Chain A
Amino acid sequence: MAPRVGVVTFPGSLDDRDAQRAVRLAGGEPVALWHGSHSLEGVDALVLPGGFSYGDYLRCGAIASLSPIMAEVIEAANKGMPVLGICNGFQMLAEAHLLEGGLIRNSHGQFICRDQVLRVENASTDWTSDFEQGQQITIPLKNGEGGFMADAATIERLEGEGRVVFRYVEVDPNGSLNAIAGISNERGNVVGLMPHPEHAVEEGFGPDTSAAMRNGTDGLGLFTSAISRVLQAA
Chain B
Amino acid sequence: MKPNSPPNLNRSPSSNLKMKRNGTKLKNIFYSQKVAPYVFVLPFLLIFTGFYLYPVVSTFIMSFQQVLPGQTEFIGLRNYERLFNPTFFRALYNTTLYTFWTIVILIPLPLLLAIILNSKVTKYKTFFRACIFIPALTSTIVAGVIFRLLFAESESAFGNSFIMFFGFDPVAWRQNAGTLMFLMVGLAAWRWMGVNMIYFLTGLQNIPKEMYEAAEIDGANTFNKFRHITLPFLKPVTVYVLTITLFAGYKMFEEAYVFWEVNSPGNIGLTLVGYLYKEGFQYNQLGFGSAVGVTLLIIVAILGLIQLRLTGVFGGKGDN
Q: Do A and B bind each other?
A: no
